[in-house]
Each structure stands twice: as C-alpha cells, then as structure tokens.
Amino acid sequence: ATPRTYENQGGLFETLKQIDIKNNQIINVRQRRDTAYQELLKMAKDIGKEKQFVHHAGVIQSLLGYREHPKYMIVVMIDRMRRQALNIAQDFVAHGRLESVDQIFYLNIDQVTEAQRNPDLDLLALVKAGVEPIQKVSHVKNWPVLIDSRGKIIRGIREETEAADGTLLGDPISPGLVRGRAKVLMSPYEKPLESGEILVTRFTEPSWTPLFINAAGVVLEVGGPTQHGAIIAREYGIPCVSGLDDATKLIKDGDFLEVDGSEGTVKIITEETEGGVRNGDKK
C-alpha cells in the first residue's frame, strides 16, 4: 500500500536537485574502490598472482550484481499487483462502492474477488472492519524491537544510553569518524538533506537511498548491521551509528554532531570549530 517513488516524482526531483554532482558519496566510494583495487593488485603482483587477481576481480565485478536480480523481480511483481489493485479500486470508486482507491488495501484478495462477482457486497463495511485493528494501535508511536512467538513484548533497553560527558551511546554499524550538521527526518522527502549533513532518523528503507548520496554520516534509532540504512552506509563508506534510542528527539536540526561509526557514539558539539574539522569532513 505504500506510495511508490514514481507517484511522487516531485519529491524525488527535489532530492536529486540537492545532490552535489562534484562531491558526493558515489564519487567518494568509487575513488576508495579504485584505491583499494590498486593496493590489492600490488599485493597480488608481489606474490606472482597478478593475472589470477585481475581475472577473479573482473568476474566478481561483472557478476555480483546478479545476486540482486531475484529481489528486483519480486519488487517488480509486487508493483504490478499493486497497480492492478488500484485499477480495480478505481472501478469501485466510480460506482460509489469505495470512497478512495487507497481503501482497497484494507481488503484481502478473497474480498476483492467476491466484490468483483457480487456488486451488492458492502465494501465500505469490510473496509471499516479492516481499519479497526489498525486504529486500535494507532496511538503506538514506537513499536517494540522484538515480539516473541507467544506475543511477549521484549524491549531491549540499553543499560547505558549516555556517557558521563554527554556522549550518546549506540551500536557501531559502519566505521569512520565524521562531523557535520544534523538533519532529522521522519520521511525521505519532508525536507532537503544538504551535502555534508548527517542524516538522523528512526530507520530507513529503499525509498531513502537517494538521500545517502549527500549524507556525511547516518544516525538510526532502530536496526542492526543488516538493516537497510546500515547496508547502504557501508556500501558508500559513510560512518553510521544505530540503536540510539530517541535519537530523533535528542538531536535537533542544525545540531553539530560528531558521529563515530567505529565506536558507536554520537556527540553533540557546541563549538563547531573544535578540532578544526569542517562540516561533513572525516577524520
């Protein structure tokens, strides 16, 4: 039911306009990759394995991307089904059976199929029944990290969330040390993320990926090493700290941060010039 990026092309365009085409994470990671390749190539030459290294590196670089293809096809198929559901919903809306096309996502497949056969089926009543369980938990702002098979809520509360000097403690996800201004976002397109700013949010998913091109660092409330934001941060070589409870409340837009992705710490710095590190610079 989640709106797709192609349905909000204006928001995507605004994000793309913020990208510094001369200095961004895609360029930086390409430079680091090339440097690493040359270092490994030299090591291979030193042990007489240059030809084997070049061959296997070429195979990996050419074929590794195919591991993503099955997931890509799943995404494509789900989108096709979503479009079909919306087409059906438009017909229901046209005949006064639904008030908006998005209401179809509160129905299950059997109900939609029956509604196509039976024009007298009360869809709004079914929608109301589908919405009811969601409304019962609409007041929950922060869902528990874990719920076991018996329904027991497990809240992994960190024993220490703040060091004596005020440093915020999280989990080290992607190594590196960087300083920059914070930009707190609850959705990917609510406001621009400028080049060199540090992205602070609860968690991310694929629609957030374009923002990482500008991000100098990432701070997440939820997620471990395999969370989407963590994986993208490591791919781009961006320092990232996760598991920092209430980060979006403790950190405000414009706060000057030091993010240590190796130690899992975040400092809110009052003096921007401390240490001589500029916004978005890495130590």
Known catalytic residue at 56:
no
| Residue 102 · residue 1 · CB < 8 Å | yes
Give, for 219, the enclosing helix (H) or strand (E).
strand 217-220
| Residue 280 · residue 259 · CB < 8 Å | no
| Residue 50 · residue 44 · CB < 8 Å | yes
Q: How far apart are CA 163 and CA 145, in angstroms?
A: 23
Q: How long a stretch of residues is the chain? A: 283
Burial 161-170 (b: 16+ CB within 10 A, else e): eeeeeeebbb
Q: Which of 55, 95, 139, 228 is catalytic?
A: 228
145-201-154 Cα angle (round to 5)? 10
Q: In what side-by-side order are the strands of the sheet with 171-174?
A: 168-169, 265-269, 256-260, 177-184, 198-201, 217-220, 240-242, 171-174
In whole angstroms, what separates CA 237 from the centre of its chain? 15
Q: How far apart are CA 194 and CA 270, in angstroms?
A: 20
Q: How far apart are CA 168 and CA 162, in angstroms?
A: 5
Residue with tokens 């190594």: 175
**Of 156, 140, 101, 139, whose CA–CA distance to 123 is shortest?**
101
**Residues classed as catalytic:** 228
